[in-house]
Amino acid sequence: MREIRSVASFIVLVLATQASIECIAAEKPNVLFIAIDDLNDWVGCLDGHPQSKTPHMDDLAKRGVLFTNAHCQAPICQPSRSSLLTGTYPWSNGVYDIEQEMREAPLLKDAVTIPQHFRKNGYHTIGAGKIYHRGEGDVDAWDEWGIRHGWGWMGKLIGPEGVSGLPEPSIFDFGPIEVPPEEMNDGRVTTWASEQLQKEYDKPFFLAVGLITPHLPLFTPTEFYDQFPLTSTLLPEVRANDLDDLPPMGLKFTRYFDSTPMSHHNITRHGLWTKAVASYLACSTYTDYCVGQLLAALDKSDHANDTIVVLWSDHGFHIGEKMHWEKRSLWEESTRVPLMIVAPDVTKPGGRCSRPVELIDLFPTLTELCDIPAAAAQQGDSLLPLLKDPSHEWNHPAITTQMIGNHSVRTEHWRYIRYANGDEELYDHHKDPHEFENLAEQSEYAAIMQELAAHLPVKEVPSGPRLPKQKYTQEFDWSRP
- Looking at the Cβ atoms of 40 and 69, the one nearer to Ca ion is 40
Residue 97 found at the interface with Ca ion (CB under 5 A): no
- Looking at the Cβ atoms of 37 and 424, the one nearer to Ca ion is 37
Residue from 314, 333, 423, 425 touching Ca ion (CB under 5 A): that is 314
Q: Taking CB under 5 A as the criterion, which residues in 374-433 touch Ca ion?
A: none
Residue 245 found at the interface with Ca ion (CB under 5 A): yes
Residue 333 found at the interface with Ca ion (CB under 5 A): no
Minimal distance, residue 314 CB to Ca ion, in Å: 4
- Looking at the Cβ atoms of 53 and 324, the one nearer to Ca ion is 324
DSSP assignment letter at 104? G
DSSP string, 165-223: S-SS-TTS-EEEES--GGGSHHHHHHHHHHHHHTS--SS-EEEEEEE-TTSSSEEEEHH
23 is annotated as an active-site residue: no
At 208, give phi and psi (nearest 5°). -105, 125
At 117, give phi and psi (nearest 5°). -65, -40
Minimal distance, residue 437 CB to Ca ion, in Å: 6
Residue 77 found at the interface with Ca ion (CB under 5 A): yes
233 and 281 Cβ atoms separated by less than 8 Å: yes
Which residue stretch of 62-70, 280-288, 313-321, 329-337 sits at the interface with Ca ion (rule: CB under 5 A)? 313-321
371 and 95 Cβ atoms separated by less than 8 Å: no
- Looking at the Cβ atoms of 123 and 317, the one nearer to Ca ion is 317
Residue 440 found at the interface with Ca ion (CB under 5 A): no
Total residues contacting Ca ion by CB under 5 A comes to 7
Residue type, position 355, single letter = R
- Looking at the Cβ atoms of 65 and 449, the one nearer to Ca ion is 449
User: Which residue among the candidates 133, 264, 318, 407 is catalytic per the annotation?
Assistant: 133
Residue 59 found at the interface with Ca ion (CB under 5 A): no
422 and 250 Cβ atoms separated by less than 8 Å: no
* Cα–Cα distance for residue pair 161/281, rounded to 1 Å: 23
Neighbours of 453 (CB within 10 A): 13
Which residue stretch of 34-42, 132-140, 251-259, 397-405 sits at the interface with Ca ion (rule: CB under 5 A)? 34-42
* Secondary structure element (H or E) that encloses residue 66, with its range: strand 65-71
- Looking at the Cβ atoms of 173 and 314, the one nearer to Ca ion is 314
Residue 38 found at the interface with Ca ion (CB under 5 A): yes
- Cα 72 to Cα 57, 138, 269, 402: the distances in Å are 19, 22, 32, 11
Residue from 29, 37, 72, 362 touching Ca ion (CB under 5 A): that is 37
User: Which residue among the candidates 72, 77, 283, 370 is catalytic per the annotation?
Assistant: 77
Minimal distance, residue 452 CB to Ca ion, in Å: 18
* Cα–Cα distance for residue pair 45/351, rounded to 1 Å: 12
* Secondary structure element (H or E) that encloses residue 308, with its range: strand 307-313
43 and 52 Cβ atoms separated by less than 8 Å: yes
Question: By Cβ distance, which residue is nearest to Ca ion?
Answer: 77
353 is annotated as an active-site residue: no
Which residues contact Ca ion by CB under 5 A?
Answer: 37-38, 77, 242, 245, 314, 436
What amino acid positions are annotated as catalytic residues? 77, 133
